[in-house]
Structure 1
């Protein structure tokens, strides 16, 4: 089987090409962007991270299809994370390319642009991880200053189930909040394709609620969005990370079961004596290899505590746990039978 991270231009459906672009991360090394042939131009699903190496590779890749950056008619971006959005902003500054993004991303975009993206530090304190909050603050403040320069508002905010009419096909924009509040996917019914962004990934589960303006119940939103996508006809999965696969339904079922199991494990941890999101995250296993919390790097520890908090809040909503606040820190306990 071909390694999906290998560079190249891969036709995954008639007129639809997958282009893997590099990332600077230790974990995810590559993001898939998709070029859709649109007559005398091209429409891009997602854009990549605005890195010199990624920019050069995208330019070469489009060239193999007979296009250059000036031929990109628009970027349809699934969500605001840097590996999907910032290349679109950079190329718009050079070529005036139209950029569209889900409306639910507006609060987070505004916070990043204004330099008010420090919500993770406050959340970590609320989740019972003050030491982690201090370590993250030392890293995040300079990182957020750099990030603000890479962001601008899009030309178009996508709302609801917005149809996007191209010259050769119609894409349906479907809001799928969860990974971020404004995440969207694009459905091509005629070709039976789902441009899934990070909503449905074939090998990993996307992070939940890691964004400047975190909603109240990001995991609840994500599970609802999975069920929404499951109601569509079974489509071919075109993910942002991982290989193209044949069945969206099969992977959605796996993701729903994963989170059901994770919710059960979280209840067991609280019943066993953990009170805060941080304490609970330390007891749970992480990644497919069930790594211990202390084996994770700082970034992934922050993700782990945030995702644990998201599971705890869903359990409170569902009546399986109760919540209280002690000295500004959320505490959870098992519901008495």
Structure 2
């Protein structure tokens, strides 16, 4: 049973994890992030029939399986940013980018869906249905938001996460947490201008509530960065050790192999961020690559 409701103006949401947006345009529809699950494609088509709309295009904010998989069953051209197209079309590239290695389908816990991209989008360009793409990188390179200026709605994908997701996982997944912070600052500006923000995973928010959710995401990144620097000032350690400590200290999710691999990817980006600022450095030890705080930092 799908839950369909209006967000604002001509924009509807098919709730889930991730949320799917349907934008009506003169009898046609643009579907943003159709999602995943055995029946998700059917749910999307049922929602379109309920709204008496014909599917014009599918737009993907980024190339992770949970946002992409259901697109394979929809008969419409698929739009994705140029930098995310490889992730959409190749489950191998997707696993390499997410996990830092070619893990099994069982460990990835996501379908190895592969969907052909019909149109590579340059960020900032127009999309079908009068929508506009905006650059929101960090969660993935090339991650984009989808803006409906008419309804003042932003489909933010995973450029912002709901507070329950933040609390559960502690370390928000991003290929580049520094870049993700800059995207969050852009979303904060849009929230302050009155746009409704629709996260991929989390509640729809507008006004002060939207600003508060974005601020919670920014604070979470700052917390993770501070945690890493504090631990390395106490003693040098490997990335794997940092991932374990962050997982058990910052969130409520169990330290499963999958969660540790996800957090390892995100924390690698924090180490790169701190290294660029001259605060940490890698050295070789018996355990492999060991990270330590620089003595002059």
Q: TM-score range by the shorter chain?
A: 0.7 to 0.9
Contact 2:71 2:115 in 1 (8 A): no
Q: Which residue of 1 aligns with 2:270?
A: 311
RMSD: 2.9
Q: Which residue of 1 aligns with 2:33?
A: 46
1:154 and 1:32 mapped to 2: Cα distance? 20
Q: Which residue of 2 aligns with 1:100?
A: 79
2:127 and 2:97 mapped to 1: Cα distance? 34
Contact 1:235 1:249 in 2 (8 A): no
Q: Which residue of 1 aligns with 2:72?
A: 89
Q: Which residue of 1 aligns with 2:8?
A: 13
Q: Which residue of 2 aligns with 1:297?
A: 256
Runs of 4+ in 1 over 6 A off after TM superposition: none
Relative to structure 1, the CA distance from residue 118 to residue 174 in structure 2 (aligned partners, 3 Å threshold; closer, same or farther) is: closer
Relative to structure 1, the CA distance from residue 316 to residue 31 in structure 2 (aligned partners, 3 Å threshold; closer, same or farther) is: same
1:260 and 1:237 mapped to 2: Cα distance? 21
Contact 1:101 1:154 in 2 (8 A): yes
Among 237, 246, 249, the alignment partner of 1:275 is 237
Question: Secondary structure, in 3 states, of the residue corresponding to 1:42?
Answer: strand
Q: Which residue of 2 aligns with 1:119?
A: 96
Relative to structure 1, the CA distance from residue 90 to residue 198 in structure 2 (aligned partners, 3 Å threshold; closer, same or farther) is: same
2:216 and 2:241 mapped to 1: Cα distance? 27
Relative to structure 1, the CA distance from residue 89 to residue 296 in structure 2 (aligned partners, 3 Å threshold; closer, same or farther) is: same
Total equivalences in the alignment = 286
Question: Secondary structure, in 3 states, of the residue corresponding to 2:120?
Answer: strand
Relative to structure 1, the CA distance from residue 86 to residue 117 in structure 2 (aligned partners, 3 Å threshold; closer, same or farther) is: closer
Deviation at 1:54, TM superposition (A): 1.7
2:160 and 2:249 mapped to 1: Cα distance? 16
Relative to structure 1, the CA distance from residue 310 to residue 246 in structure 2 (aligned partners, 3 Å threshold; closer, same or farther) is: same
Deviation at 1:159, TM superposition (A): 0.8
Contact 1:179 1:208 in 2 (8 A): yes
Deviation at 1:208, TM superposition (A): 1.1
Contact 2:284 2:290 in 1 (8 A): yes
2:99 and 2:180 mapped to 1: Cα distance? 23
Contact 1:234 1:249 in 2 (8 A): no
Relative to structure 1, the CA distance from residue 116 to residue 11 in structure 2 (aligned partners, 3 Å threshold; closer, same or farther) is: closer
Report matched runs for 1:79-228 at 5 Å: 79-91=62-74, 95=75, 97-109=76-88, 111-112=90-91, 115=92, 119=96, 123=100, 136=103, 139-140=106-107, 147=112, 150-164=113-127, 166=129, 170-203=130-163, 204-205=165-166, 206-209=172-175, 218-228=176-186
How far does the alpha carbon of each residue in 1:50-77 deviate from its partner, in whole angstroms, 9 at most, with x for none? x43222322322222123xxx1000111
Question: Secondary structure, in 3 states, of the residue corresponding to 2:290?
Answer: strand
Q: Which residue of 1 aligns with 2:169?
A: none
Q: Which residue of 2 aligns with 1:244?
A: 204
Question: Secondary structure, in 3 states, of the residue corresponding to 1:270?
Answer: helix
Deviation at 1:249, TM superposition (A): 3.2
Matched, 1:263 2:225: yes
Question: Secondary structure, in 3 states, of the residue corresponding to 1:56?
Answer: helix
Unaligned runs of 5+ in 1: 1-5, 22-29, 125-132, 210-217
Deviation at 1:171, TM superposition (A): 2.2
Question: Secondary structure, in 3 states, of the residue corresponding to 2:202?
Answer: coil
Q: Which residue of 1 aligns with 2:292?
A: 333
Q: Which residue of 2 aligns with 1:57?
A: 43
- Relative to the length of structure 2, the TM-score reads 0.84
Relative to structure 1, the CA distance from residue 48 to residue 118 in structure 2 (aligned partners, 3 Å threshold; closer, same or farther) is: closer
How far does the alpha carbon of each residue in 1:183-207 deviate from its partner, in whole angstroms, 9 at most, with x for none? 1101223432111111112323441
Relative to structure 1, the CA distance from residue 264 to residue 152 in structure 2 (aligned partners, 3 Å threshold; closer, same or farther) is: same
2:150 and 2:240 mapped to 1: Cα distance? 46
- Relative to the length of structure 1, the TM-score reads 0.75
